[in-house]
């Protein structure tokens, strides 16, 4: 996919980059594509990604959207430089939050006066590119930095912060994958024995980079581990208060969905307790009275090894391998298993990041409800289903009364708090099959599948009362008006929305704080 194709606007462009990562030909194309999308999605004058060499603690590569030859050459001179030679980079590394925002470079106290004077007016967003799968001591290792530069000072919205963090996370994933692949390439040169391991790692990494579903990665990882280590059984388990649920398996006695214990002295239980790798080199050497020894020997097990799967700094689960071979565990079994556990963690983190970006693109950033675009998509889906199966479908359009007065009297922050609280109150009324959306400033839509008009009118009245029956903190009492309509035979989806709006208008015209049902016009007489 060409960079121009992924340089979309807003969250859609970011989601496009997430979908594109698996097909990117190499790291350079990936980072250049992310920079192009960053400039477009955040309206930046320039987006630049610096890749850091972990060994020498200096910049090893620069990818930028800057087209001016002189400025481009200036940015490229950062290659080979360390933080002591790049003051803005030093500022970014010292900042407590990976996200650094400066809205006015000329007046911020964060910049030394001399540097601020040299930069002049402008703004920028900087992100440290880090990933939990890459260790930097006690904290995630620094993979690079990403900067969005603006020639004029400006302020940034919360959704822009989210978009910047999302792009930074995608760049971190790309760099973490590249780091892993580079380590794989170096390991392949060590000896022929390691070549087989790296080939297995590469196969799993390819699935991860290609955005394969995590459950598929779990199964493939278990298969690769068992084959590579010469162990008969391997599985991936996710920890919970109830135990360790098997989510991927190969050759194991356990099947998907089985719940294994996380208490006792077994390798899996030890990982759950310590968050560290664990192994049992010889079950027969355990205390003869141990239930674990008796269970293992009964099933013919000789040894086992487990490695933790850490996601975003927390213990997600573990990768376990067991063997019945007389010779027990292969050399460095825990260390080798840990490399596969890191790939499992990367697959999970990658999937979670993609889902967050998809969720952000589908929801209203203030209330967390579905946004206008998502509402329209679900409306058309529900409309097609209702028309095809001749099932009822109703729509409620609800609007807060005199909302402008709230903003004028109490300020927009107070108005935002009211909208969040209204969304929360409405959310207690909606069913799981319903769609509740914020479709305008103070306007909400409630789509009710399998619901006739009279039931929808009752639901709308409950919504009106939920808003009117309790004051809002710092604002007081508020009312709302609602319009209700039901899908009518022979009319399209646009008519459904129009009729709900007309009913809402009638509720407003007749005193507000009311619900009105759209009444179809009688058919002509001749």
| Secondary structure of 427-462 in HEC code, one letter for each residue | HCCCCCCCEEEECCCCEEEEEEECCCHHHHHHHHHH
Alpha-carbon gap, residue 434 to 13, rounded angstroms? 28
Assess if residue 120 is contained within a domain: yes
Both 138 and 250 in a single domain? no
Question: 437 pairs with which residues across the strands?
Answer: 370, 445
pLDDT tens per residue, range 281-329: 998 888 888 888 888 888 888 999 999 999 888 899 999 999 998 888 8
Q: Which of 320, 355, 390 is the last residue of a domain?
A: 355
**CB-based contacts of 428-435 (< 8 A; 24+ apart in sequence):** 428/466, 429/459, 429/462, 429/463, 429/466, 435/370, 435/374, 435/375, 435/378, 435/379, 435/382
How much is the pLDDT for 163?
84
Q: How many domains does the chain have?
A: 3
Assess if residue 367 is contained within a domain: no
How much is the pLDDT for 2?
39
Phi, psi angles (nearest 5°) of residue 261: -70, 145
List, for the chain, all residue ranges whose pLDDT scores fall below the cut of 50.
1-11, 14-15, 17-22, 24, 525-526
Burial zone of 416 (CB within 10 Å; 0-12 exposed, 13-18 middle, 19+ buried): middle
Q: Are 177 and 205 in contact (CB under 8 A)?
A: yes
What CATH number is attached to the domain comprising 332? 3.30.450.40
Question: 243 pairs with which residues across the strands?
Answer: 240
Both 168 and 222 in a single domain? no
Q: Which are the contacts of 283, defined by CB distance < 8 A and separation ≥ 6?
A: 292, 293, 296, 297, 301, 302, 303, 304
Both 102 and 160 in a single domain? yes
How much is the pLDDT for 5?
38
Alpha-carbon gap, residue 369 to 233, rounded angstroms? 45
Assess if residue 365 is contained within a domain: no
Both 304 and 332 in a single domain? yes
Alpha-carbon gap, residue 273 to 315, rounded angstroms? 10
Q: Which are the contacts of 477, defined by CB distance < 8 A and separation ≥ 6?
A: 468, 471
What CATH number is attached to the domain comprising 453? 3.30.70.270
Assess if residue 196 is contained within a domain: no
Q: Which of 302, 322, 355 is the last residue of a domain?
A: 355
Alpha-carbon gap, residue 72 to 111, rounded angstroms? 23
Assess if residue 203 is contained within a domain: no
Both 387 and 494 in a single domain? yes
Both 300 and 420 in a single domain? no
Both 267 and 165 in a single domain? no
Q: Catalytic residue at 442? A: yes
> In which domain, by residue range, is 143 found?
3-181
Assess if residue 326 is contained within a domain: yes
Catalytic residue among 12, 442, 450, 461: 442
Q: What is the DSSP letter of 370?
A: B
Q: What is the DSSP letter of 344?
A: H
Alpha-carbon gap, residue 32 to 48, rounded angstroms? 9
Q: Which of 140, 164, 181 is the last residue of a domain?
A: 181
Assess if residue 194 is contained within a domain: no
Both 404 and 339 in a single domain? no
Both 39 and 173 in a single domain? yes
Burial letters 256-269, b for 16+ CB under 10 A, else e: eebebebeeebbbb
How much is the pLDDT for 453?
93
Q: Which are the contacts of 73, defined by CB distance < 8 A and separation ≥ 6?
A: none
| Alpha-helical runs (H) found in 26-157 | 27-41, 69-76, 87-94, 113-119
Assess if residue 364 is contained within a domain: no
How much is the pLDDT for 89?
81
Both 346 and 378 in a single domain? no
Both 226 and 292 in a single domain? yes
């Amino acid at each position: 996919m060409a960079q121009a194709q992924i340089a979309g606007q807003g969250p859609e462009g970011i989601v496009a980059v997430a979908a594109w990562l698996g097909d990117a030909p190499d790291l350079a194309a990936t980072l250049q594509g992310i920079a192009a999308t960053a400039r477009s999605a955040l309206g930046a004058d320039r987006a630049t990604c610096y890749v850091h060499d972990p060994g020498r603690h200096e910049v090893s590569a620069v990818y930028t959207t800057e087209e001016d030859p002189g400025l481009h050459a200036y940015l490229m001179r950062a290659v080979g430089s360390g933080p002591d030679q790049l003051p803005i980079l030093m500022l970014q590394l010292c900042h407590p939050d990976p996200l650094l925002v400066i809205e006015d470079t000329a007046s911020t106290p964060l910049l030394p006066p001399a540097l601020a004077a040299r930069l002049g007016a402008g703004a920028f967003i900087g992100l440290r590119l880090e990933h939990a799968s890459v260790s930097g001591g006690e904290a995630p290792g620094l993979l690079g930095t990403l900067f969005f530069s603006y020639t004029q000072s400006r302020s940034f919205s919360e959704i822009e912060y989210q978009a910047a963090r999302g792009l930074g996370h995608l760049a971190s994933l790309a760099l973490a994958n590249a780091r892993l692949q580079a380590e794989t390439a170096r390991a392949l040169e060590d000896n022929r024995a390691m070549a087989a391991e790296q080939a297995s790692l590469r196969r799993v990494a390819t699935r991860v980079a290609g955005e394969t579903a995590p459950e598929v990665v779990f199964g493939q990882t278990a298969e690769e581990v068992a084959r590579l280590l010469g162990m008969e059984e391997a599985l991936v388990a996710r920890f919970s208060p109830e135990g360790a649920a098997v989510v991927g398996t190969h050759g194991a006695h356990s099947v998907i969905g089985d719940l294994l214990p996380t208490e006792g002295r077994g390798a899996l239980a030890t990982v759950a307790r310590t968050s560290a790798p664990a192994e049992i080199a010889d079950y027969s050497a355990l205390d003869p009275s141990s239930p674990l020894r008796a269970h293992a020997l009964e099933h013919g097990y000789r040894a086992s090894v487990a490695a933790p799967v850490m996601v975003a700094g927390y213990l997600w689960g573990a990768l376990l391998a067991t063997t019945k071979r007389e010779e027990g565990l292969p050399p460095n079994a825990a260390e080798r298993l840990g490399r596969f556990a890191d790939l499992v963690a990367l697959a999970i983190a990658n999937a979670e990041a993609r889902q967050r970006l998809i969720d952000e693109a589908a929801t209203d950033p203030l209330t967390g409800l579905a946004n206008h675009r998502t509402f329209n998509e679900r409306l058309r889906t529900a409309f097609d289903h209702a028309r095809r199966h001749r099932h009822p479908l109703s729509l409620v359009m609800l609007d807060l009364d005199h909302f402008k007065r709230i903003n004028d009297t109490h300020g927009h922050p107070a108005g935002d708090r009211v909208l969040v609280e209204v969304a929360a109150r409405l959310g207690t009324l909606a069913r799981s099959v319903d769609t509740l959306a914020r479709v305008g400033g103070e306007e909400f839509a409630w789509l009710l599948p399998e619901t006739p008009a009279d039931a929808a009118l009752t639901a709308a009245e409950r919504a009106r009362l939920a808003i009117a029956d309790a004051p809002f903190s710092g604002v007081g009492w508020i009312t709302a008006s609602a319009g209700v309509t039901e899908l009518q035979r022979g009319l399209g989806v646009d008519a459904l929305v129009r009729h709900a709006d007309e009913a809402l208008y009638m509720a407003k015209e007749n005193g507000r704080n009311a619900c009105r049902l759209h009444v179809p016009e009688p058919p002509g007489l001749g």
